[in-house]
Amino acid sequence: MRLDVFTLVPDAFAWIRERRPIAAVLDRELELRVFNYRDTTPLTARQVDDEPYGGGPGMVLRVDVVAAAFDAVYGGMPEQRVVALTPSGRQLDQALVEEFAREPALTLLSARFEGFDQRILDHLCSDAVSIGPYVLSGGEIPALALVDAVARRLPGALSEGSGEVESFSEALEGGLEYPHYTRPADFRGWKVPEILLSGDHGRIETWRRERVRSLA
């Protein structure tokens, strides 16, 4: 899969290349490309945004700047889905992550300041995605969240089986995962449930299933 991220803060994507799960799949199952709108802007002095028509605070990412970035990278409109990260988008959930992970390629657009000129969302994007009902300063953290969530669904990203039984997975019928414990078995009197120390895998499995919390 190829993920193309367009951003004003390309540095924000440096560290994830060295960390699992992305490091495990990078240059194998995943090609991650990061583009700075400023590198291809048709405006002078690397300008990418402008004041909003109608007045008001803040600066708005220009539609011609995003179109120029697509021309430079794709020679026009990308063939793959183009996902704008915006608080007004569809809220990201595991079902949408799984859907994105099946795509051969995705383009992610992030903005800063007041956000996107609406024509970017209307004419240059296929999807608009929010990572939650709150406002961040830029689309880099939302894009990182999406890249991470998608990358960990790719073959080889996680150790065998660890991505199959977790919160929101089919194996747990979309529910929240059961609690985990590790050593020490007793810390300040806070004891690990006896059953987990019993070695009885059948009863442990039943105990865990009983603790999966449904979202409904």
Ligand X SMILES: C[S@@+](CC[C@H](N)C(=O)[O-])C[C@H]1O[C@@H](n2cnc3c(N)ncnc32)[C@H](O)[C@@H]1O
* Binding region for ligand X (CB under 6 A): 85-88, 110-112, 114-116, 130-132, 134-139, 142
Residue 138 CB, nearest distance to ligand X (Å)? 5
Nearer to ligand X, 57 or 104 (CB): 57
Nearer to ligand X, 37 or 116 (CB): 116
Neighbours of 4 (CB within 10 A): 21
Residue 143 CB, nearest distance to ligand X (Å)? 8
Determine if the peptide bond prior to 21 is cis (ω within 30°): yes
Nearer to ligand X, 14 or 135 (CB): 135
Residue 127 CB, nearest distance to ligand X (Å)? 12
Nearer to ligand X, 90 or 203 (CB): 90
d(CA 47, CA 211): 53
Nearer to ligand X, 29 or 93 (CB): 93
62 close to 111: Cβ distance less than 8 angstroms: no
Residue 109 CB, nearest distance to ligand X (Å)? 7
Closest CA to 40 of 80, 71, 5: 71
d(CA 187, CA 184): 6
Under DSSP, the state recorded for 179 is: P
Roughly how many angstroms between the first and final C-alpha of the chain, as a whole number? 33
Residue 89 CB, nearest distance to ligand X (Å)? 6
Under DSSP, the state recorded for 194 is: G
Residue sitting closest to ligand X (CB): 139
